[in-house]
Amino acid sequence: MRRVRYGATGGPLFLEEAPVPRPGPGELLVRCEAIGVTLPVVRKVTEAAEPVPLGGEIAGEVMAVGPGADRFRAGDRVTGLCFGHGYADYALLHIGMASPVPDTATAVDAVALVRSGLVALGALEAARPERGEAALVTAAASGVGHLAVQLARVRGAGRVVGAVSDPAKAGFVRSLGVDDVVTYGQEGWGEPVDYALDAVGGDMLSHALAALTAGGRLVAYSSGGGTIRAYDLLVGAKSVIGFQMARIAREEPELYERWRQELWRLFEEGALKPVVHGEFALEEAAEAHAAVESRVNRGKVVLHP
């Protein structure tokens, strides 16, 4: 089979031949039909001290089932987060991360919806939104952000503001139902919001915090780091909440599954519409990474073996 790998920090990415893996206890062998590209994985290539397997979201058909994974069978369509080599024709998926794909959805729908949607929904839940409140979503055109703005509306936000890196993305974000679009370099972001979901980190944390009304909540879920001054919290009685999807998957599997079911329900009802920026072949993985790293994408970037 083919898989994508890199030999040193910073790449380049290249295709290599590798044996088809065998599923171990609790594992499924999946023939990958779609692979989601995420910013954390892109950052691993450029920042990790040594090369790591390119994992991430996969969707496809179960080809073989390992011991103890018998709630699935060959021929099932599944999606989930792969922690090993996921940029490949075949990948191993642990059943704890596996979710059935309904007949109404394609594999591309699945990788555009499930993992990014779980992060968006989890970050939104962490903000404790109340009906009628105003919401701010940074990276609003991204794979996670474009779902977060839709979910905020579904959960009753009275006003949704989308923050983007480039004014050219404004039309796309407005098509998702946001009321106002702001850009990162813009002076002032209009009326304050009750809560903000930040996927950017760095200096954006301070900007998102400044956009909050007194008593507002900022949910930080970016891998980009950043620092906030305690005084900026005290002066407006604001709060910052950290959210990590891996902790929910590991420690609260019932909640994780409930969120997955909610995402599929909203998808099937037409209330949540994942958007795909582009589909790339495995040999075009470098181009897919470039689209995410440069933040030109509008929606999800997908590898399509």
pTM score, whole prediction: 0.90
Cα–Cα distances (Å) from 30 to 4, 111, 195, 211, in that order, read 16, 14, 39, 44
Closest CA to 215 of 193, 236, 240: 236
Q: Give the long-range contacts of residues 236-242, CB within 8 A, separation 24 or more.
A: 236/212, 238/209, 238/212, 238/214, 240/205, 240/209, 241/126, 241/127, 241/217
DSSP letter for 142, please: S
Omega into 12 within 30° of 0, i.e. cis? yes
Residues whose CB is less than 8 angstroms from the CB of residue 31 and which lie 6 or more positions away in sequence, other chains included:
60, 61, 63, 89, 90
- Is the CB of residue 38 less than 8 Å from the CB of residue 56? yes
Closest CA to 135 of 65, 223, 213, 194: 194
- Compute the distance between CA of residue 304 and CA of residue 28 in angstroms, rounded to an integer: 19
Helix axes 107-126, 253-269, angle to 10 degrees: 120
For the chain, which domains are there? Answer: 2-101+275-303 (3.90.180.10), 117-245 (3.40.50.720)
pLDDT of residue 278: 87
| Residues of the chain falling short of pLDDT 70 | none
In tens, the pLDDT along 225-273 reads 888 889 989 989 999 999 998 888 889 989 988 999 999 999 999 999 9
